[in-house]
Structure 1
Amino acid sequence: MKKAIPVLLMMVMLVGVVLAGCGDNSPSSSGKPSGQAERGDSSKDSNASKEPVEITVMLSGPGVPDLDKNPIWQQLSNDLNMDMELNVIASEYDQQLNVKMAGGTPPDLFNIGKVPLTEMGRQGLLLDLEPYLDDMPNVKALYDENLLNKGRVDGTLYALPKRADIPMDSLWIRKDWLERLDLEMPTNLETFKEVALAFTNEDPDGNGKADTYGITGTALYTFAPIFGAYGTGGPGSYAIKGGELVYTTEDPAFREALSYIADLIAAGVVDPEIMANKGTDDQQKAFQGKAGILFRGWGELVKDSYVEQYKSINPDAEWVQVGALEGPGDNYMSVWDLGRTPNRLAIPKSLEKSPEKLEQVLELLNYVTGDGKGQNIVNYGIEGTHYKVENGEVVPLPAMSDLDYSWQMQLTARDELAYLSVKFANQKPYIAFAQEQPRLEVYDSFIPVPQGVVADDKTTYETEEITKFIYGRRPLGDYDQFIETLYKQFQLQLYLDSAEDTLTELGYLQ
């Protein structure tokens, strides 16, 4: 797994998954980061007569406005006395990064996915950031070991992960249907099934037609709260129970959950198209009154525009959140991947030879992190133009809506709860509810794919066979045989060995 490959070959073969994400820290009208003077305000003021330091930043995702139309970019450049060339690549990002790295012209700061992070780190192309944490006090104060672990390869900190977002999904139900049928809010698996049956069979919309289902959703994600009630996660996750590594697909609790789900499907309470639903198909079915229960993020149900949408179809419709269901295993709403991060930032090792540039990159990262002006700029824009501060709280101004690209400028992300509470004030109760739900911790994003296997093949097989089990096309009595196939044909033991080694190295397993 740790064997190096030639640089040029690696650059051709490298494939990375690069995700973009978004967040904020507590706002401050004074604009001073906690515990120190702002490096961008004070340390640069004395050098204002110097020429700006030129740095290049390369990010993945949708484009951002040019400098003359990007007040965030302008303000950062002014505050830090730098000339930042910002390149945001919408497609084929990994290929373009590979070309620059192989050609000896890497950006000074860039996004990097998990796979290229591993390969480039082992090839010696990336700077070890550990010795530079003291030069970024805001970063050092906010980044604990769990967060830093997301940027490590073989124990070396080759990337600065974006701070993670917060859980946003939860179970939702049509409250007006409950009231019409004189039903209580479900709290456990038994009452959940009763409600699903009633929503399917008792004409909850009162139109005299048998045209509703209890539950809709998208693929096996539909059943996350049910797996959680059995104390396990969906297929293919790595959890730690009683100090031991557990692969959820072979967890006995997972098999029990499949039996319960199979009963729901056999009873006809589940939208028969869940495995085909994509994007917002399930959301639209819910809005159209075709189902009364689904598992979704608050942002796809109760943003103002969505409420207007479903109210226009049925003014009496009311979607509300349901707490995690009690079950024989526990009452988790879903899983939460401790290794997840919206993205990672890396610095090429070659930048060591340009100390002025390196200092500027470190100062930029420090400035946009923490409680202070730099974080407020990338989150909310310019004070007085895009937001104002009242009683220590950020209040959006109309111009903030012009900054829909601001998440791209949030290099180290943000304090998600504080940020979302500003951006979506009407949704604060839903945001808090989702965040507070219990989640089973898993470690999926930490685990590297073993060499010599194709992860997609295993995932496809698991999904296909589990679908057969829940739809009755394969008896649950064959489950041991299914697990045996995972080991023999899809080399599951290699994945487990990789997980064991990685989680031990990072300190999660003893």
Structure 2
Amino acid sequence: MLRKYLFLLLFALVLVACSDDNAGSEPNDGDETENGDTETSSETADPFSAYEEKITIAIGQEVDPSDTSLQDGDTPLDNQYTRHVNENLNIEVEHAFTASPSNYDQKVSLAIASNDLPDAMVVGPVELRQLVEADQIADMTDIYENYASPAIKEIIDSSEGVALENVTFDGKIMAIPNSQASADGVHNLWIRKDWLDKLGLEPPETIEDFKEVAKAFVEQDPDGNGQDDTIGLAGPDTTNKLYANFLESTNNLYGFDGIFSALNAYPGYWLEGDDGQPVYGSTLPETKEALSVLRDMYSEGLIDPEMGVREDSGESVISGNTGMFFGPFWMPYGPITDAVTNNPEANWQSYGLPLNANGEYTPHLSTTTTQFVVVRKGYEHPEAAMKILNNLLANESEFDPSIGGPGYYPLRLVYAPADEMEVTTVALREVLAGTKEPEDFYDMPAYKLLKSDVDSIHEIKLEPYDNTDIEHWDPEANLGQWTRAYSALVGTAPLVDNEINGVMSLIYSQTETMEDRWVNLKKLEDETFLKIIMGTEPLDSFDQFVENWNSQGGDQITEEVAEVVNK
């Protein structure tokens, strides 16, 4: 009996010793498995906890060389965003590579082809599928379940399953999806209203009105400098597209999206044909008609003659040479803030125009999920990428975009309820009208910037509060908050004040044949349409394009799209 008690006592001491050893070890967010994947424990997961010892994450990042918003001494790798990640999470961000917006996708493709990935990076739907098929990225299922913050999960859930469906392969979550405001997919018409007023013109409601305004802007010296240097309508630069498409359905800058939709043309989108089956909008007669209109406008000098070769069409907006362009609500985060800083009388206003022949505003609409954060398979801390995303959403209101645009935040994905900007616009109007108090909007955590929006609006908006012309603002009082408020009260106003008869694409992802054929088909489309508009190919080359598109894989792709849609 004594030997039995001695054995039990010895066993208990061993257990205590093992327990003490474990208690003295550093907490570990994940354990490595034999194949290099990381398993996480829900018992230790904390979406916002800092690491006890500093870790590093090497990322691929898009850096716009034309963005001059960084304050003196800051760099793309040392700024308010990277310092915040370092201080809050004890994560040191490094750059595996950087690339301009026009070269980023190419850099990502090279990294995939060479199997030399950064620890984490942002990719689009095409690259995501390539990475999954090459087995180069980590399974993020447990990471998402255990580390995604409640706010991010709430926003992703608001997509009604679309966001997670786009990153789920064979039942595994292979990337962290974004979920953004639907306003990002509507490309409004931005106009120099001070030019309209000077020339006695109204905002153009029809395509014919639009051409008349563009002609006046070119020929009647609206800037009053006595020189022939004004542009009626900006065109896409080397970074952007003629129009958004089903794979890149948001945030197209300086394209002709509004002209196409006013002519009931939706190139780049999959639509329901007369027989109820899918058709590709770029192959339809309506697109040919729209190309004809653009071709005439270009030949008449109404469109920037340097379209397609400019490195940044925003420069002509900032310099005060351009009178109109198409873009999303957030253009004050782009060139408009600099344009107003250079010329406080530059009265850029946003409109849901032009309308179609029935007097309707019919823009194409986007999917709410367009970008994804992926993590290199074998990276020791895959949860770090999720924590960085949590940190941005929770603290975004602390950052000042006037001293470094949000594009400098590492691994930035946009997280917003689908109606975030419309809700913000209405809230600001109610606070300015005195029908609501700022405190009425404090308890809305998914609308992450709303509290700072309503708290600061009286600092920057001057009376009369219902007039958004530039002279009724004080940008110098708080330039960062002005940028945000101007995006809401001017940029988003057309989405609140107009009936939107938008058009969705039937799909926003690739089919199997697209993986091999789409790059070449898209190149064929882009080159043909640009040449038609610029007059270097006849309009009827459109018909040959349709024939070539079908024979080079378009027919098969259309069948595959039909299979997806009919399911």
Deviations, residues 471-490 of structure 1 (Å, cap 9, x unaligned): 455443453333112222x3
Question: For residues 257 and 440 of structure 1, what CA distance do their matches in structure 2 show?
Answer: 17
Query: Unaligned stretches of 5+ in structure 2?
Result: 1-42, 64-75, 99-106, 244-254, 422-446, 453-478
Residue 344 of structure 1 corresponds to 373
The one-letter code of the counterpart of 2:89 is L
Task: Give 1:460's match in structure 2, choosing from 504, 514, 523.
Answer: 523
Decide whether the 8 Å contact of 1:214 with 1:292 is kept in 2.
Answer: yes
Residue 73 of structure 1 corresponds to 86
Task: Give 2:296's match in structure 1, choosing from 228, 244, 263.
Answer: 263
Residue 450 of structure 1 corresponds to 513
Matched, 1:246 2:279: yes
Q: Which has the higher contact order (CA 8 A, sep 6+)?
A: 1
Decide whether the 8 Å contact of 1:458 with 1:486 is kept in 2.
Answer: yes
Residue 146 of structure 1 corresponds to 162
Matched, 1:191 2:191: no
Decide whether the 8 Å contact of 1:38 with 1:367 is kept in 2.
Answer: no
Decide whether the 8 Å contact of 2:123 with 2:371 is kept in 1.
Answer: no
Task: Give 1:493's match in structure 2, choosing from 555, 560, 563.
Answer: 555
Report the CA distance shift for 1:443/1:65 in structure 2 as closer, same or farther (over 3 A): farther
Deviations, residues 199-220 of structure 1 (Å, cap 9, x unaligned): 2334434455555442232263
Deviations, residues 94-143 of structure 1 (Å, cap 9, x unaligned): 766787889xxx95x66555455324434555555456655346244332
Report the CA distance shift for 1:444/1:399 in structure 2 as closer, same or farther (over 3 A): closer
SS at match of 1:214: coil
Matched, 1:163 2:194: no
Decide whether the 8 Å contact of 2:269 with 2:281 is kept in 1.
Answer: yes
Question: For residues 209 and 110 of structure 1, what CA distance do their matches in structure 2 show?
Answer: 46
Question: For residues 403 and 477 of structure 1, what CA distance do their matches in structure 2 show?
Answer: 44
Deviations, residues 9-66 of structure 1 (Å, cap 9, x unaligned): xxxxxxxxxxxxxxxxxxxxxxxxxxxx996499x8xxx9xx9488764422166349
Report the CA distance shift for 1:473/1:89 in structure 2 as closer, same or farther (over 3 A): closer
Equivalent residues in 2 for 1:384-463, closer than 5 Å: 387=398, 401=403, 407-408=409-410, 413=415, 417=421, 418=447, 424-427=480-483, 428-431=485-488, 433-435=490-492, 437=495, 438=500, 440-442=503-505, 446-447=509-510, 450=513, 453=516, 455-463=518-526
Q: CA RMSD in A?
A: 4.5
SS at match of 1:491: helix
The one-letter code of the counterpart of 1:141 is E
Question: For residues 126 and 287 of structure 1, what CA distance do their matches in structure 2 show?
Answer: 41
The one-letter code of the counterpart of 1:121 is V
Post-superposition offset of 1:408: 1.2
Post-superposition offset of 1:75: 2.0
Post-superposition offset of 1:73: 2.4
Residue 173 of structure 1 corresponds to 191
Question: For residues 260 and 409 of structure 1, what CA distance do their matches in structure 2 show?
Answer: 40
Question: For residues 412 and 473 of structure 1, what CA distance do their matches in structure 2 show?
Answer: 39
Question: For residues 195 and 60 of structure 1, what CA distance do their matches in structure 2 show?
Answer: 43
Residue 383 of structure 1 corresponds to none
| Percent identity over paired residues | 22
SS at match of 1:276: coil
Question: For residues 202 and 295 of structure 1, what CA distance do their matches in structure 2 show?
Answer: 22
The one-letter code of the counterpart of 2:386 is L
Question: For residues 227 and 482 of structure 1, what CA distance do their matches in structure 2 show?
Answer: 18
SS at match of 1:215: coil
TM-score, normalised on structure 2?
A: 0.60
Question: For residues 367 and 290 of structure 1, what CA distance do their matches in structure 2 show?
Answer: 40
Task: Give 1:301's match in structure 2, choosing from 335, 349, 356.
Answer: 335
Deviations, residues 138-160 of structure 1 (Å, cap 9, x unaligned): 24433231111331346643211
The structure that is strand-richer by fraction is 1
Deviations, residues 198-256 of structure 1 (Å, cap 9, x unaligned): 223344344555554422322635321101212333x4343457864331211232122
Decide whether the 8 Å contact of 1:76 with 1:374 is kept in 2.
Answer: no
Task: Give 1:365's match in structure 2, choosing from 386, 392, 399.
Answer: 386
Question: For residues 400 and 210 of structure 1, what CA distance do their matches in structure 2 show?
Answer: 33
The one-letter code of the counterpart of 2:200 is D
Report the CA distance shift for 1:241/1:100 in structure 2 as closer, same or farther (over 3 A): same
Matched, 1:117 2:128: yes
Question: For residues 293 and 405 of structure 2, what CA distance do their matches in structure 1 show?
Answer: 46
The one-letter code of the counterpart of 1:299 is Y
The number of residues matched between the two structures is 416
Decide whether the 8 Å contact of 2:178 with 2:415 is kept in 1.
Answer: yes
Residue 64 of structure 1 corresponds to 77
Question: For residues 57 and 140 of structure 1, what CA distance do their matches in structure 2 show?
Answer: 23
